[in-house]
C-alpha cells in the first residue's frame, strides 16, 4: 500500500450548513442564534441543526428545544427547508468545481478533492480561492472549513480542527504529531461502543492506538474496517470501497397532533410510494418490506417477503398487511412518535425473472405499466398529480425530502 510523501487530499466541511443556508437566504436571521427544527409552532421536538452563534452560546445539534431555550432564550427557531438546502448544495458544488474537480460528495455538507502537484505547493492559496469564490458568488454567511493531508481520513480530521471558516494543513512530515492530543471522539469511525471496546483492550489514547498493529484493530472491529483505519491514521493512501445499495426507505417524526395509528398509516403510504419511486429511478426491484414504529417507551416492527416487485400496488398491498398485524399487536390508543418504511433485498432490474406462479405476465406487468405511466405524468408536471389511493402529505411538508446528512435529495423527492 502506497504511503504519500506530500498532501494529496482536500476535505471540505460547511460550517453549520442548514442554519447558515437559512441565514444566507433570510437576512433577518443574520448574526442571530438560529436553531433549525422539524416543525413550526411546537417546543416538543429537537434542534436539528444550529448556527455558529448558537453553538458559541452552548446550543448543540439534536438538543431538545426546551433545553436549548434554557441555554439561549434568544434562540430563533426556524422550520426546516430541505429543498432550499438541496438547491444551496448544488450551487455551492458548482462554485467549488470551478476551482478544483470534486472527487467525492460525502454528504450534503462535506466533500473531498484530489490535489494536483500545483495545488500541493500552495494549499492555503487554494483554500483562499475556494472561500473567496463562495463569498463572491453565493454569500458570506455560508462558510466552510478545509483540511489538507496525505489521505481522505486525515484530511477529514484536519478540517475539524479550526472551525468555523478555518484551514488546517497536515503535511506527512509532521505526522503523527497533530493526532496525539486528540480524543477518540475526533476520529471518524470511533463511536461510543468502539471507544469502550478500545478502553477494555487497554488502548486509552491516540498514542496507544497508533502503537497497535493492523491485525489488532481488525480483531477489535471484527472486520477489515479497523485495519483500514490503522493504515489511514498512519498516512497510507487508503481507497474507500465502493458501497452497494442495500435498501430504499423513508422515516418521519410525526407532529404532536398527528400521532394516532390512523395518521401514521396514512403517512406511511406516502413515504412508501416515495421510496418505491426512488427504487424505480435507480433501476432496482425489492423482495422484502419493513415497517417500524416508535412510541415513547416502546418500538414495534414487522417485515414481510414480497414477490420481486417495484410497482406501487404491490408495495402498498404489502404495507396494508403489515398494518393489519400492527393493529393486532399494538396497545390500544398507541401514540406513534416516529415511523418509517424500508424496501429491502434488492435486485437489479436487469436481473429480474418473471414469476409464473404469481401470474407475473398478466397481473404484475399490468400494475407495472400503470405505475410507469403515473411516473411519466408526474415527471412531466413536476408534482404528484396521479397516485394510487389518497395522497395526504403530513403537516410541515417535505415527506421523503426532509433534512438528510447522508443522502442528497433530488427535486423529485419533493413532489
Q: Which residues are catalytic?
A: 110
For residue 348, what are the β-bridge partners? 284
Task: For residue 73, give the C-alpha cell.
Answer: 432564550
Cell 431538545 belongs to: 64
H/E run at residue 71: helix 65-71
- SS3 assignment, position 292: strand
Torsion, Cα 399 410 157 96, to 10 degrees, reads: -140
The arrangement of strands across the sheet holding 49-50 comes to: 49-50, 34-37, 76-79
CA dihedral (225, 230, 234, 240) in degrees, to 10, reads -10
Q: Is 306 helix (H, G, I), strand (E, B) or coil?
A: strand
Helix (H/G/I), strand (E/B), else coil: 13: strand
Q: Are 405 and 14 in contact (CB under 8 A)?
A: no
C-alpha cell at 12: 471540505
338 three-state secondary structure: strand
Look-up of cell digits 423513508: 250
Handedness of CA 274, 388, 357, 352 (dihedral sign): negative
Strand partners, 110: 13, 107
CB contact at 8 A, 113 and 146: no
The answer to whether the beta carbons of residues 270 and 247 sit under 8 Å apart is: no
Amino acid at each position: 500500500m502506497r504511503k504519500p510523501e506530500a498532501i494529496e487530499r482536500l476535505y471540505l466541511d460547511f460550517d453549520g450548513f442548514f442554519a447558515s443556508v437559512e441565514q444566507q437566504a433570510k437576512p433577518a436571521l443574520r448574526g442571530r442564534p438560529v436553531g433549525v427544527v422539524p416543525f413550526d409552532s411546537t417546543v416538543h421536538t429537537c434542534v436539528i441543526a444550529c448556527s455558529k452563534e448558537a453553538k458559541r452560546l452552548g446550543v448543540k445539534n439534536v438538543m431538545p428545544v426546551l433545553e436549548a431555550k434554557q441555554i439561549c432564550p434568544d434562540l430563533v427557531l426556524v422550520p426546516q427547508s430541505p429543498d432550499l438546502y438541496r438547491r444551496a448544495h448544488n450551487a455551492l458544488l458548482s462554485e467549488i468545481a470551478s476551482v478544483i474537480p470534486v472527487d467525492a460528495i460525502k454528504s450534503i455538507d462535506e466533500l473531498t478533492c484530489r490535489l494536483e502537484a500545483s495545488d500541493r505547493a500552495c494549499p492555503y492559496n487554494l483554500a483562499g480561492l475556494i472561500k473567496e469564490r463562495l463569498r463572491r458568488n453565493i454569500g458570506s454567511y455560508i462558510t466552510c472549513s478545509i483540511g489538507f493531508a496525505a489521505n481522505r481520513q486525515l484530511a477529514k480530521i484536519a478540517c475539524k480542527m479550526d472551525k468555523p471558516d478555518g484551514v488546517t494543513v497536515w503535511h506527512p512530515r509532521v505526522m503523527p504529531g497533530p493526532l496525539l492530543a486528540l480524543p477518540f471522539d475526533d476520529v471518524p469511525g470511533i463511536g461510543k461502543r468502539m471507544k469502550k471496546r478500545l478502553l477494555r483492550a487497554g488502548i486509552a489514547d491516540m498514542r496507544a492506538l497508533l502503537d497497535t498493529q493492523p491485525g489488532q484493530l481488525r480483531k477489535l472491529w471484527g472486520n477489515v474496517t479497523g485495519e483500514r483505519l490503522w493504515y489511514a491514521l498512519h498516512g497510507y493512501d487508503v481507497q474507500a470501497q465502493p458501497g452497494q445499495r442495500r435498501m430504499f426507505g423513508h422515516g418521519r417524526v410525526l407532529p404532536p397532533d398527528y400521532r394516532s395509528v390512523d395518521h401514521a398509516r396514512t403517512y406511511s403510504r406516502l413515504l412508501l410510494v416515495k421510496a418505491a419511486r426512488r427504487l424505480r429511478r435507480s433501476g432496482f426491484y425489492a423482495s422484502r418490506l419493513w415497517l417500524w414504529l416508535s412510541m415513547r417507551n416502546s418500538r414495534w416492527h414487522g417485515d414481510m417477503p414480497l414477490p420481486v416487485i417495484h410497482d406501487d400496488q404491490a408495495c402498498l398491498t404489502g404495507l396494508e398487511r403489515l398494518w393489519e398485524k400492527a393493529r393486532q399487536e399494538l396497545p390500544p390508543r398507541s401514540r406513534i412518535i416516529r415511523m418509517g418504511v424500508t424496501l429491502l433485498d434488492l435486485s437489479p432490474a436487469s436481473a429480474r425473472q418473471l414469476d409464473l406462479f404469481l401470474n407475473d405476465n398478466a397481473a404484475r406487468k399490468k400494475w407495472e405499466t400503470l405505475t410507469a405511466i403515473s411516473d411519466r405524468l408526474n415527471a412531466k408536471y413536476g408534482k404528484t398529480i396521479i397516485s394510487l389511493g389518497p395522497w395526504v402529505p403530513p403537516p410541515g411538508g417535505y415527506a421523503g425530502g426532509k433534512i438528510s446528512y447522508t443522502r442528497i435529495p433530488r427535486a423529485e423527492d419533493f413532489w
